[in-house]
Amino acid sequence: MTSIADEARIALDNIADRAGNLLHPTLRLGVAGLSRAGKTVFITALVHNLLHGGRLPLFSAAASGRIARTYLEEQPDDAVPRFAYESHIRTVLDERLWPQSTRAISELRLTIEYESASLFSRMLSRGRLSLDIVDYPGEWLLDLPLLDKDYATFSAEAIERARLPSRAAMAGPFLAALDAATLDAPSDETTAVQLSQSFAAYLRACRNDRTALSTLPPGRLLMPGDLEGSPALTFAPLPVDPGRSYPRGSLAAVFARRYDAYRNVVVKPFFRDHFARLDRQILLVDALQAINAGPEAVKDLETALTDILACFRPGASSWLGSLLTRRIDRILVAATKADHLHRESHRRLEAIVRRLVDDAMARARFKGANIDVIAMAAIRATREGTVNDPAGPLPVIIGTPMEGEEIGRDRFDGLRETAVFPGDLPADPGRLFDAKRPREPIRFVRFRPPRLERNAEGLTLSLPHIRLDRALEFLVGDRLA
């Protein structure tokens, strides 16, 4: 994946981090989410609950009253934008709207002062742990495998995916432009831009709610940021012959050079400066959208998980090895939006995602790190209820749909509550991979964030959630023991 110089720089960064940890213990937590998974909401809810003493019964340090104080501090990396927690929490609490998703890397430091669970340790001093939350798009994870692929390999895989039945219609304009391209002809910028834009448009179409596909590298073509229009982002896969040398200045040669620039300018710095320095990782996935989109989307999500797991440096290091190479020893895969289902389906959602993760681990030959799966809602926007139905009591979820959301012919104004029967997930996860066994889709409605309750003394309570405490216990609980 990386050169000797990159590995040397990673080792030096880790030595500096370890030296700092002697005086200021720190845990670097990577938070990534595939499209629509809600990582901005997750970080906002995590910080709000820790700052405001949220209801976290499964987070042992909080449940036992050992957390003395939590507070935000200045982040350690001056070149990385700060995660805009204050702006996001105002949007959720004051406007009851979901914050805009972040489309670049950001960071936030939350420090926790705590009493140790050990009597001996409590006699020495109060513990302190800084949680450095590194927020980045999940699409960037899917770029990491490109470091091990030359342009011919990338092109062959991308074109093969584009011709799949689930993608062919969306890829039609791009494939047509590809057929018209002359690979060994002199490159001109008009043709290069047209090919690149048609390829990026196809990737964006794959990501919409109807198709909900996940394996969409290169990720920066979906979120170019300040690199928009640069040569490093102006390329597309071409049906090149791996054993052939194309003339200098030809379309194939120019695109191959730009692909290499993309890996060197975009992917490698992300791996070296951020990903390789993580201690723990949570990956958020919107499995419900993939389930609703059908078997091809579910299989594609499994492929994305396989590619992602293959990128991690998992496992525990020796004491000496940890000075040079950081290892991610815990990975949590969280199926978000569990509040869109009645609790009776939560275990089924976990079973489905666990099946995807287990298959992905086998395909990626993944081993060495502790990995877990949960169904979660970082902010719970609904509550549960029961309505009378001619066939018997019907479990429903109740909330305020976002303005413009529709169920059948009913269009919501963003003000009134409604009860929704979302449907049931199959007990057998294998049914989701079988296109010959149709089933009823889950009924999705986007709900507004909840209005916070007040207790008897008039104090505003923390944001409600589903299993955020379980996620915290898995990711940081052992470091607060």
pLDDT, tens digit, for every residue of 223-244?
A: 888 888 999 999 999 999 998 9
Amino acid at 322: S
Q: Which pLDDT does position 8 carry in this prediction?
A: 61
Using pLDDT thresholds of 50, 70 and 90, give the confidence band for residue 11: low
Q: What is the pLDDT of residues 378-424, one digit of tens each?
A: 999 999 998 887 777 888 999 999 999 888 788 999 999 999 888 88
The mean pLDDT of the chain is 86
- Which SS3 state, helix, strand or coil, does residue 52 take? coil
Q: What is the pLDDT of residue 440?
A: 67
Q: Indicate whether 172 pLDDT > 70.
A: yes
How much of the chain exceeds pLDDT 90, in percent? Answer: 56
Q: For residues 155 and 232, give the distance between their C-alpha atoms in angstroms, rounded to a whole number.
A: 16
Predicted confidence (pLDDT) at residue 12 exceeds the cutoff of 70: no
Q: Are 18 and 326 in contact (CB under 8 A)?
A: no
**Residue range 113-142: mean pLDDT, rounded:** 80
Q: What is the pLDDT of residues 362-383, one digit of tens each?
A: 876 777 678 999 999 999 999 9
R_g (Cα) of the chain, nearest Å: 24
Tell me, what's the pLDDT at 322? 42
Residue whose structure tokens are 């993309």: 262
Quick one: pLDDT band at residue 247, thresholds 50, 70, 90? very high
Other C-beta atoms within 10 Å of 454: how many? 10
pLDDT tens profile 348-358: 999 999 999 99
Average pLDDT of the segment spanning 201-217: 86
Measured distance CA(462)–CA(468) in Å, rounded? 12
For 130, phi and psi rounded to 5 degrees? Answer: -95, 125
Class of domain 4-142+270-380+467-480: alpha beta
Task: Of 9-18, 67-76, 318-327, give the lowest mean pLDDT range.
Answer: 318-327
Q: Which of 356, 340, 345, 466 is nearest to 402 (CA)?
A: 340
Which of 356, 239, 238 is closest to 286 using CA atoms?
356
pLDDT of residue 407: 80
- Are the CB atoms for 222 and 207 separated by under 8 Å? yes
What are 313-319's contacts with CB under 8 Å, separation 24+?
313/276, 314/366, 314/367, 314/368, 314/369, 315/367, 315/368, 315/369, 316/368
What are the sequence ranges of the domains in the chain? 4-142+270-380+467-480, 150-266
pLDDT at position 321 over 50: no
Residue, of 42 and 424, whose pLDDT is higher: 42
Flag whether pLDDT at 325 surpasses 70: no
